[in-house]
Amino acid sequence: MKRENVNEIIEILKDRYDDALCALHYEKDYELMIAVRLSAQCTDARVNLVTPVLFAEYPTLEAMAGADVSRVEELVHSCGFYKHKARDIVLGCQMLLRDYGGKVPGTMEELLKIPGVGRKTANLLLGDLYRVPGSVVCDTHCIRICGRLGLTDGSKEPEKVEAQLRAILPPEESSDFCHRIVLFGRDCCTARSPQCGVCPLSHLCRHMNPEA
């Protein structure tokens, strides 16, 4: 896709979604790490119902690191895959205290050592907590929509999509762009019934203009 078209897409999304904040609710850096882990194959809305109860019972990093995993399982059960998520949450908080001075680290290499943290989570943490340029969060919305638009070659592999987007997005825009794509995927470019007739990006979309 031409550079000017990429820039136009970015500006249109900026105009439509002025606020590009993460949809997950949190106050502390480790709370975002936990919320993102819970969001795997779960809606942000559900996570935002669960985390206030979880954080109220374990209000500090130390408390979370010392939590009984079985109790955490009970509290996060409705998010699905609760056994794996509960274990990762407790082990991850223990690692923050043991290895990182009680703070979520600010490099990809360090983040990927934490239980339950993959590239998607690491990029989100880097972008939201540290505003690291070039942070690209490849969730299902991002992969689907960027393929439809023609920003990527249609690959479904997150690491390939991340690399392709990193090559075309201005680094300072990438994190906010990914948050806006999620919002766009929820209210317009949905998976089953995309609203192409009213889409502000239809004139730039490969799905609508395959010969373009």
Cα–Cα distance list, 51 to 48, 76, 84, 106, 109 (Å): 6, 8, 16, 23, 27
Share in percent of the chain as helix, strand, coil (round to 5): 60, 0, 40
Of 85, 120, 128, 176, the catalytic one is 120
Burial 47-68 (b: 16+ CB within 10 A, else e): bbebbeebbeebeebeebbebe
The answer to whether 120 is a known catalytic residue is yes
The single residue of 139, 153, 156, 176 carrying the catalytic annotation is: 139
Residues carrying an active site annotation? 120, 139
